[in-house]
Amino acid sequence: MKGAHWIAAVAFMFASTNLVIELGILILIFLGWQYLVAEIIGGLLLIAISSLLMRTVYPQRWLQEAREQVEADDSGEDDSFDPWQRITSREGWYRVGHQFVMEWKMVWQEILIGFTIAGFMKAFVPAAFWEALFLQSYKGSLPDFLITLENVMVAPFVAAATFIGSMGNIPLATVLAGSGVGFAGLMAFIYSDLMVPPLVKVNAKYYGWKVALYIAGIMFVSIVATALILDTGFSLAGLTPEGAAQQASGSHFGIDYTFFLNLAFVVLGGVLLWLHRRHVALLDDHGNHDHGGDQGIDIQKYVAWTALSILATGIASYAFTA
């Protein structure tokens, strides 16, 4: 709506999911520093490759129609503001708390579902299934390049089948790493968060199905190319990690620096939640009530609450039987 080129918009989509700080923290904790380095380098490669692809295959009419559709939905509100005025005002800090809550509302469901599915996969899906799907049992009988190529082409569809994107993919990637899936396949799996059906559906809502599938296609080709380049580069540098599941296996509760950091951020979260409530109260005082939102059935919400119920039942069962 601000007039950015489509190539810039797609680059922003890649960066907003693959180059964010919180994703990097999860990758470092669960997978290791090599994967974090690969995530950063690969994120930049994804942007470069997707930009080149879009310049080569650019459906002018489709994208112009999508732009017109987005502009038709523009509310026309002026978003100009004085940054210093907001920083020094209570209302500005109320907005910070409100944004914090809105960000959590956006990601808590996929994180919860991702960890729950990862638990089920770890407990009930044998490693032999993943080894067969990613041809790990054929090492030595098939050329390594063919196995790697199959891994990076299958991984995006595995990610799409989970319906989980962004940070929710990391615990699943840890399970796959523990099952012997190769480095290239894991990176392709992590990068595929923008190809999951819910996000493709969101793109279709704003731009139409033709453009949504076009963007997904650009992403798929970019992901495959990026994963192959990363695998080759890390192999030549001798940095290819052998596995990652052990990164999180030894973590136990303890009174250490992590415990006190958790307490500090719980307090900070409480402050931000209070600021959010003040922001909502201020809107109510001015008669700005938001009654919008999707009117359809939010399947992901019901799946998230089902996952929460399953986890609560498991914790209670463990507590009574321990």
pLDDT in tens, 168-182: 678 788 878 877 788
- Res 290 pLDDT > 80: no
Identify the burial level of 32 via C-beta atoms within 10 angstroms of its C-beta, where 0-12 means exposed, 13-18 middle and 19 or more buried.
Answer: buried
Concatenating the DSSP letter of every residue in 158-213 gives: HHHHHT--GGGHHHHHHHHHHTT--HHHHHHHHHGGGGSHHHHHHHHHHH-HHHHH
First to last CA, the chain: 56
Q: Residues 233-243: pLDDT tens digits?
A: 999 998 888 76
Provide the token pair at 19: 């180059």
Query: In the 8-state DSSP scheme, what is residue 140?
Result: T
Q: What is the H or E stretch that residue 119 is in?
A: helix 90-124
Query: In the 8-state DSSP scheme, what is residue 142?
Result: B
> Could you tell me the pLDDT band of residue 297, with boundaries at 50, 70 and 90?
low
Average pLDDT of the chain? 82
Give the separation between CA 150 and CA 224, rounded to whole angstroms. 10
Q: Residues 150-200: pLDDT tens digits?
A: 999 999 888 887 766 666 678 788 878 877 788 899 999 988 887 877 778
In a domain, 51, yes or no: yes
Domains identified in the chain, total number? 1
In a domain, 107, yes or no: no
Nearest to 151 by CA among 191, 181, 190: 181
Query: In the 8-state DSSP scheme, what is residue 227?
Result: H
- Res 224 pLDDT > 90: yes
| Predicted pLDDT of residue 27 | 87
In a domain, 258, yes or no: no
Compute the average pLDDT of residues 193-213.
82
> Could you tell me the pLDDT band of residue 97, with boundaries at 50, 70 and 90?
very high
| Predicted pLDDT of residue 42 | 92
> Could you tell me the pLDDT band of residue 47, with boundaries at 50, 70 and 90?
very high
Spatial contact of 203 and 39, defined as CB atoms under 8 Å apart = no
Q: Residues 248-260: pLDDT tens digits?
A: 444 556 787 778 8
| Predicted pLDDT of residue 25 | 86
Nearest to 41 by CA among 236, 231, 321, 301: 231
**At how many degrees (to 10) do helices 6-18 and 33-56 cross?**
170
| Predicted pLDDT of residue 51 | 92
Give the separation between CA 317 and CA 176, rounded to whole angstroms. 27
In a domain, 288, yes or no: no
Nearest to 134 by CA among 118, 114, 154, 117: 154
Q: Which domain holds residue 231?
A: 6-72+126-247
**At how many degrees (to 10) do helices 257-285 and 90-124 cross?**
130
In a domain, 90, yes or no: no
Nearest to 119 by CA among 265, 299, 314, 321: 314
Spatial contact of 234 and 164, defined as CB atoms under 8 Å apart = no
Residues of the chain with pLDDT > 70, as a percent, come to 86
| Predicted pLDDT of residue 245 | 43
In a domain, 310, yes or no: no
Give the separation between CA 210 and CA 31, rounded to whole angstroms. 36
Could you tell me the pTM of the whole model? 0.70
Range of lowest pLDDT (159-173, 210-224, 225-239):
159-173
In a domain, 173, yes or no: yes
> ∠5-6-11 over CA atoms, to 5°?
100
In a domain, 163, yes or no: yes
